[in-house]
Amino acid sequence: MASENKNHRWQTFLAHMRSHSWRGYVLIGVAVYLVLINQLIRVRPDHVFIALMLLALTLGRGRVKVFVKDWAPWIVFWICYDMMRGVVDNWRGTINIIWPYMTELKLFGPLFGGVIPCFYFQDLQLALSGSVIKNLLDATGGLFYTLHFGVPLIVGWVFWHTTDDRKSFYRFVWTMTLLNFSALATFFLYPVAPPWYVYSYGFGQPAIAGYWGLGAGSLLNVDRMIGMNFFQTLWGGFNPNHFAAIPSLHGAYPLAFAWFMYKKFKKHLLWMLLYPAGVWFSAVYLNQHYIIDLIIGAIYLAVAYLISDRLLIPHVFSRFIDWGPLHKRRDAAA
């Protein structure tokens, strides 16, 4: 009897270890992440925060395993995007400067007095210098442009947690994953200078390999207005490639927000469209993106959505994903 009890306890222990083996993989992943970050770029506070967050989740209970699995695409993309700063200087070739500018000028120049829209708004800012209207436009533009970083995560959280809609979450997160990684590949293969570079430096190639310039463009006006180096610090620390103008994720993310939220709730479409309209205007007004950058970003989003909706969800994930509410499986996910 004692031998049977001992054997039972051993089998129970092995089963427990197997059921929690994913925690070990997460711990190994965190260690590899920190080592790679240390080798490629300097470790920043946000790297430590991500590592500690993953460690805390690994030690948690309830829906933790499901959370780590479901949100892994966001984590992997952020790591890949962040690591661009460590390799992009050595890998990038010729920066594409003339074609985007000339295309923008041909398509939209006639509507803006013979100049591209970004430069039209730069001239407008000079004309409005010191006015309340300019300060209001700068502040509003800075707000809309910065929401780009947090809104997709909020939408994902609404689907995953607030409404407990697993199918909508997967459709959203894998649309964004395809969008993100196709954009990442394009940034490497076809680096494009944004309009602020042409406005400040003309059509010449960057003088040195490590050149990034003041990528915040007109966002620095907001810094001067509020008396803080908020956007200079944000763009200097979190934008690893200032020649990643096409496709514009600022053009794609807000449209994804409006589309998925409307599909879920079936109301307030006009109010939801105010957000992408505000971001698109801000991107041009702040001299960050050509209109064609934004349009190409929207095309990338449409293709990613069609692949996710017509292929991945029905033919891949439906085979092994339980679309039921997560709260029914909390104990199983522990």
Query: pLDDT, tens digit, for every residue of 108-128?
Result: 999 999 999 999 999 999 999
86: phi > 0 → left, psi -120 to 50 → alpha, else beta; which?
alpha
Give 205's DSSP letter: P
Give how far Cα 225 sits from Cα of 132, 135, 279, Å.
Answer: 11, 7, 20
**Count of alpha carbons within 13 angstroms of residue 221, beta-carbon side:** 23
The pLDDT of residue 141 is above 60:
yes
User: What's the rounded Cα separation, in Å, for the pair 3 and 57?
Assistant: 37
Give how far Cα 102 sits from Cα of 98, 99, 116, 120, 290, Å.
Answer: 6, 5, 9, 15, 11
pTM equals 0.77
The pLDDT of residue 322 is above 50:
yes
Q: Check if the beta carbon of residue 241 is closer than 8 Å to that of residue 193.
A: no
Of the candidates 228, 247, 238, 216, which has an alpha carbon nearest to the alpha carbon of residue 145? 216
The pLDDT of residue 242 is above 90:
no
> For the residues 143-156, what does the mean pLDDT come to?
84
User: What's the rounded Cα separation, in Å, for the pair 186 and 92?
Assistant: 11
Of 60-64, 113-117, 168-172, 330-334, which gets the smallest average pLDDT? 330-334
> For the residues 279-283, what does the mean pLDDT come to?
95
At 104 the pLDDT is 97
